Amino acid sequence: MDPLIQKIILATDFSDASKDASYHALLLAQTYQANLKALHVFDPKPLGIPHPYKKRKNRAQEEEDLEKTRQRGRDILNELADSFHVKADTIFAEGDAGPEIVRIAEELDTDLLVVGTHGYTGWNRLALGSVAEYVVRNAPCAVLTVKPTDRQE
């Protein structure tokens, strides 16, 4: 009998919520002996909006800064996957996080998506949006959302 969960994607934005989600993704991957992939979606749009009081850099410098930011994201993603101490592939995508996560999950015939949620409510949720909510509503597979633990020490 095939296990119910064979392919797991951890979608991460490197936040505390995502770190907590990574523990669950790793535990489930080990329990089910499932293939684990760590996914980060880089959205360059917010980086390209200049602040009205900030002096704009030339286009070449902006592109160089953007590429450095992309590479830093790839490096952090690889560090995360290496920290699992099990084989975990990485996927670095670019675009709007929610739709990209759903597209990749569908493309890879994923059984389970694991995402952290920041737990925003009210105005913050409305203003900031919710990638986790988008994923839950549109994913082609099961989704485990993980709230960050309260780490008051």
How far is 148 from 117, CA to CA, in rounded Å?
A: 7
- Going along the chain from its start, the domains and CATH numbers come out as 7-146 (3.40.50.620)
Q: How confident is the model over 86-104, as a mean pLDDT?
A: 96
Cβ atoms within 10 Å of 13's Cβ, excluding its own: 17
Task: For residues 42-59, give the mean pLDDT.
Answer: 64
Q: 92 by DSSP, 3-state: which?
A: strand
pTM for the full model?
Answer: 0.83
pLDDT band at 63 (very low <50, low <70, confident <90, very high): confident
DSSP one-letter string for 35-56:
EEEEEEEE--GGGGS--TTSPP
